[in-house]
Structure 1
Amino acid sequence: MDLSALVKAYDVRGTVPDQLDESIARAIGAAFVDVTGADRIVTAHDMRETGPGLARAFAEGALHRGASVVEAGLSSTDMLYFASGHLGLAGAMFTASHNPAQYNGIKMCRANAVAIGQDSGLTDIRDRASEYLDRGLPATDAPGSVEQADLLTAYAEYLRGLVDLSGIRRLKVVVDAGNGMGGYTVPAVLGDAVLAPLPLDIVPLYFELDGSFPNHEANPLEPANLVDLQKAVVAERADLGVAFDGDADRCFVVDADGRPVPPSAITALVATRELAKHPGSAVIHNLITSHAVPEIVREHGGVPIRTRVGHSFIKAEMARVDAVFGGEHSAHYYFKDFWFADTGMLAAMHVLAALGEQERTLADLTAEFTRYVASGEINSTVDDQAARMAAIREAFAGRAESVGELDGLTVQMPDGAWFNVRASNTEPLLRLNVEGPTEESMAAVRDEALGLIRDGSGA
């Protein structure tokens, strides 16, 4: 069976049941044990209705290959990474993150949250699973065993041990969980559901777990999905707002006036905090983050390292250079103290600590980290991605200061404006990100590139 449409660059993701069903999950579970060599694994799932069945089928495949399974049950993705690091086990998280309700998927890691991507085992898992689907699983005489584990309190305690919020000034925070896993983890970590209360007044939006996403998609990267949070922050006269995506491994922040704080500014802010604790350390940023990020990292004595987009690539590079922190334009934030894995909750805690340790507003606090004008990510569905990319390369040849191909095309213009266009690893899209020293320079490059992407005109 061909699984190439289902197995992406760094995870498994597709619609259920036509692309991903329990028989496929079972085969992937067996292949996962074969490729990792794990004799004990941990699984978890988000709030999607199909999650428990897929996770159990995956466990059955793993059991069939002799591995024992710890079922962590309902979890955010960063809770699964915590479980992998805390227990020292390879793990599998069943989630489709911000994708619509009909999707589900699997994010896999080796022990201590070491990511598994296309070049680090995922292709082997895909090929072995395909064989099992064609030929069936081999007989086994020694199946593994299953146990359940509730790790929510341990997860909350661990995060609170990394960022102490007990002494900050009292803050009012609106949190939009988007009916995703933030509704499960925020009360435990930032509220008083399992630990002592913090000086935070949490105003909850859409904390009810519902994988059909009845209020809005759990993808705060899209401006339309931030509107409710922005209105609530202003209406509540809150100090800030935080939105999580469906599996709560990403967080987005808006200030007291409801204005989004760019993820690159959050990356720079958190980087300065981590560099204050670990002077001279490396900080990872992907090639789409603002040019302000490497500038600020250098100014604070750190070593900025640029990498391609994608969690498996970034985690591998962080481990290789022993980076203290990493950030992406998409609001994924990675921490050495969290097994080099991404966690939206820990990033949110850093923002709360930075704000609560002084008296300025969030807008004033983050102004120093926002130096350029950015378009935000603009997605376009196109019929022929390669042809559009070739047209862009040709149109800017001879005019650009440089053209890089680390991840898609990154074009640097002489006036300081630059853009990156790349194919999505999970959807049939071209993603455009543009930045410039002024609104005019950014808009000119944005409009030309977008015209080439959408209709080939460059207009």
Structure 2
Amino acid sequence: MNDAPDLSGLIKAYDVRGIVGDNLTHEVATAIGAAFADAVVLPDGESQVVIGHDMRDSGPGLAQAIAAGLNARGVDVVSIGLCSTDGLYHASGVLDLPGVMVTASHNPAAYNGMKMCRSRARAVGENSGLGEVRSLASRYLADGVPQADAVGAFSERDTVGDYASFLRSLVPLENVRPLKVVVDAANAMGGYTVPAVLGNAAGLEALPLEIVPLYFELDGTFPNHEANPLDPANLVDLQAAVREHGADIGLAFDGDADRCFAVDERGEVVPASAITALVGLRETAREREAGRQATVIHNLISSRAVPEQLEAAGAIPARSRVGHSFIKAQMAELNAVFGGEHSAHFYFRDFFYADSGMLAAMHVLAALGAQDKPLSELLAIHDPYTASGEINSTVADAAAATQRVRETFAGDGVAVDEMDGLTLSHWDSEPRWWANVRASNTEPLLRLNVEAADPEVMERQRDALLAVIREA
């Protein structure tokens, strides 16, 4: 056996991310395709895989290389070509096939990668097959991909129309009041899916929506700004356009369009927790009308308003660790109707427990269009507290910094838990605040989130915590 290359920097805990032509080549992609076949597809008793790719120039070639690896192991490939990540999840769900999405999501232009799933969009992560994929791909790069007795077949299928129809069946928008909607696609997959779902590019009935497009031309070099709406700098154009056009709402999608951020009519960014509360309450009402109990998942750094409002509406709120693999697993385990994260990933039971930025956007449009208030007023009730947002601090020793935080702030009515990092809570008495510190898995960073019922309390706790975290 030849020396096997180390792929730990490429095949990470949840997906594959690398620099094209450097650690991510066609040879590597073929080895990963073959490894996915042997570690996940064939052991699951599957014989076909659906593959899609985003708008990056390297996407079609990498998709073909992955298909070659799968075919070599006797697995048939169904290519759906250009699609968003939730478009791939839809295909995996309705076709009941495992899938590979070729995307680097919001990463810069030099990157590409892969997201893998089992049939019906079930996540593949470090502990659910991706570790085995990494090991096998490394071996196949060293010794060559073994050839099956019968090579798999390759076929193509167009699913974007079915995807659009499926989403519209979940959230009807035909009867909303007329809305002007600015959409910033960042030259990424939203420029492909928005016209299909919210317009009539897929041949569906026109909706009472006036779409004002920003950067809909597909261009994986991202000539206008990065496709990462989590960075406030990438929302500036959308905010300005909403004000300029007098729009009712602005929407921003990330590179593979599985996340969606909203901007209200004033150009103010809507917190993802407010969207979680809004959609969670809509889904709770629908479940209760059908005579079913509703469980809604929120990650542990979502606003406290989320579980408070869900519980008041009769739902069972369930707290989760940060990260899509944890939420997806908990969604399936609890049969939760909906789940939301602070990073604007929103998950739906009726979408195979997978995340869909488009479906979340449609829920917001439906709620906005069903009444006459502007978005800022509609969402005000869901955003009653003051949050710091996620603040990253470079630290030499994350464990030591976390211990300093514990020693300084625990006690005196402060509850402590360690579900994900360290959470401190003084929410049951005045002054009400909570904070979470979590170490990054990949960088020497400690991430801080603080929320309080009062802005001055939030600022005071935030500054005190940062002073302890950043002690030399």
Fold shared by both chains (TM-score > 0.5): yes
Taking structure 1 as reference, are residues 395 and 15 closer, same or farther at Cα in structure 2, changes over 3 Å only? Answer: farther
1:310-459 alignment to 2 at 5 Å?
310-398=323-411, 401-413=414-426, 415-425=431-441, 429-453=445-469, 455-456=470-471
Contact 2:184 2:213 in 1 (8 A): yes
Letter in 2 for 1:444: R
8 Å CA contact retained: 1:391, 1:456: no
The separation in 2 between residues aligned to 1:260 and 1:20, in whole angstroms, is 35
Shift in CA distance, 171/58, structure 1 to aligned 2, threshold 3 Å? same
By how many angstroms is 1:448 displaced?
2.7
Residue 221 of structure 1 and its aligned partner are, at CA, apart by 1.1
Q: 1:10 to 1:228 in 2, by over 3 A?
A: same
Which of 29, 34, 52 is 2:38 aligned to? 34
| Alpha-carbon spacing, 1:212–1:432, altered in 2? closer, same or farther (3 Å) | farther
Any conservation in 1 of the 2:397–2:444 contact (CA below 8 Å)? no
* Pick aligned residue for 1:45 from 47, 53, 71: 53
Contact residue 346 and residue 357 of structure 2 kept, 8 A: yes
TM-score by length of 1: 0.96
List aligned pairs for 1:66-105, cutoff 5 A: 66-105=74-113
Offset, 1:132: 1.2
Match of 1:224 in 2: 233
The 3-state SS of whatever aligns with 1:359 is coil
The corresponding residue for 2:242 is 233
**8 Å contact kept, 2:410–2:424:** no
The 2-side partners of 1:44 and 1:181 are apart by: 12
User: What amino acid is aligned across from residue 220 of structure 1 in structure 2?
Assistant: P
Equivalent AA in structure 2 for residue 213 of structure 1: F
How many Å separate the matches in 1 of 2:406 and 2:21? Answer: 39
Unpaired stretches in structure 1, ≥5 consecutive residues: none
Q: Separation in 1 of the partners of 2:180 and 2:244? A: 12
The percentage of aligned residue pairs carrying the same residue is 61
CA positional deviation for 1:425: 4.6
1:63 maps to 2:63: no
Q: Deviations over 1:304-333 (max 9, x none)?
A: 000111111111110111000000000000
Contact map agreement 1:9 1:425 (CA 8 A) in 2: no
Number of the residue aligned with 2:10: 6
1:86 Cα deviation after fit? 1.2
Structure 1 residues 124-163: aligned runs within 5 Å: 124-163=132-171
Q: Report the AA paired with residue 2 of structure 1.
A: D
Residues 4 and 53 from structure 1, CA distance in 2 versus in 1: closer, same or farther, beyond 3 angstroms?
Answer: same
SS at match of 1:272: helix
Give the letter aligned to residue 9 of structure 2.
Answer: A
Answer yes or no: is 1:113 the counterpart of 2:129.
no
Number of aligned pairs? 456
**1:237: how far off?**
0.3
**Distance verdict in 2 for CA 1:220–1:427, change over 3 Å:** farther
Give deviations 1:61-108, integer Å, cap 9, x for gaps: 111111000111111110000010011100011111111112221111
Which amino acid is the alignment partner of residue 367 of structure 1? A
Which deviates more from structure 2 when the two are superposed, residues 384-393 or residues 162-171?
384-393
Cα shift at 1:114: 0.5
How far did residue 164 of structure 1 move? 0.7
Q: Structure 1 residues 339-348 or 124-133, which shifts more? A: 124-133
Distance 1:273-1:418 versus aligned 2 partners, 3 A rule: same
Q: Which amino acid aligns with 1:25?
A: A
Deviates further, 444-453 or 278-287: 444-453
CA separation of 1:124 and 1:221: change in aligned 2, threshold 3 A: same
The Cα of 1:398 is off from its aligned counterpart by: 3.7
Please say if residues 97 and 245 of structure 1, whose CA atoms lie closer than 8 Å, have aligned partners that are also in contact.
Answer: yes
- The change in CA–CA distance for 1:145 and 1:383 in structure 2 (over 3 A counts) is farther
Counterpart mapping for 1:243-262 below 5 A = 243-262=252-271
- Provide the residue aligned with 2:272 in structure 1: 263
Task: String of CA shifts for 1:412-445, please: whole Å, max 9, x gaps.
Answer: 2363211222234566643322111111111122
Q: How many angstroms does 1:207 deviate by? A: 0.7
Does residue 294 of structure 1 match 2:307?
yes
Q: What is the one-letter code of the residue matched to 2:257?
A: A
Q: 1:426 to 1:94 in 2, by over 3 A?
A: farther
Amino acid at match of 1:170: P
Q: Given that residues 8 and 426 in structure 1 are in contact (C-alpha distance below 8 angstroms), is that contact kept between their aligned partners in structure 2?
A: no
Cα distance between partner residues in 2 of 1:421 and 1:202:
40
For residue 194 of structure 2, the aligned residue among 178, 182, 186 is 186
Aligned-residue offset at 1:392: 3.0
Q: Residues 171 and 426 of structure 1: is their aligned pair in 2 closer, same or farther, counting only changes over 3 Å?
A: farther
| 1:262 maps to amino acid | P
The answer as to whether partners of 1:8 and 1:425 remain within 8 angstroms in 2 is no
Q: Distance in 1 between matches of 2:432 and 2:28?
A: 48
Amino acid at match of 2:221: S
Contact 1:382 1:429 in 2 (8 A): yes
Q: Which AA in structure 2 matches 1:349?
A: M
User: How far has the Cα of 1:39 moved from its partner?
Assistant: 1.0
Match of 1:207 in 2: 216
Q: Distance in 2 between matches of 1:142 and 1:394?
A: 62
Q: Does the C-alpha gap of structure 1 residues 449 and 105 become closer, same or farther in structure 2, counting only changes over 3 Å?
A: farther
Q: CA deviation at 1:386?
A: 3.6
Q: Alignment RMSD, CA only?
A: 1.6
Contact 1:267-1:328 at 8 Å conserved across structures: yes
Runs of 5+ in structure 2 lacking a partner?
none
Q: 1:407 to 1:15 in 2, by over 3 A?
A: farther
